Amino acid sequence: MKKDIHPSNYRLVAFKDMSNEEVFITRSCADTRDTIEVDGVEYPLVKMEISSTSHPFYTGKQKLVDTAGRIDKFRNKYAKRAAK
């Protein structure tokens, strides 16, 4: 393994999803200003607007889009031009 290729501030960091208050801890070298205490240990804190715990794709609460209606509308609109 090569020496001196990793950042010097690579450490455990707490990431907090601000939409649902979920906190998870992982290694990161992200710059932080805030700290948070989790289970009696203080970690640097990175605040996020959305994570896998609140994103609709991962939670299964997706908003369905009516794509079939749009396709039919497109075909009807341009069918008149193709007929000419």
Rg (C-alpha) for the chain, rounded Å, is: 24
What is the tens place of the pLDDT at every residue in 28-63?
999 999 999 999 999 999 998 888 887 777 677 765
Q: How far apart are CA 37 and CA 14, in angstroms?
A: 9
C-alpha torsion angle, residues 61, 49, 25, 34 (rounded to 10):
-160
Instruction: Answer whether residue 24 shows pLDDT above 60.
Output: yes
Convert the pLDDT of each residue in 4-21 to its tens digit: 887 888 899 999 998 888
pTM for the whole structure: 0.62
Are 14 and 44 within 8 A, CB to CB? Answer: yes
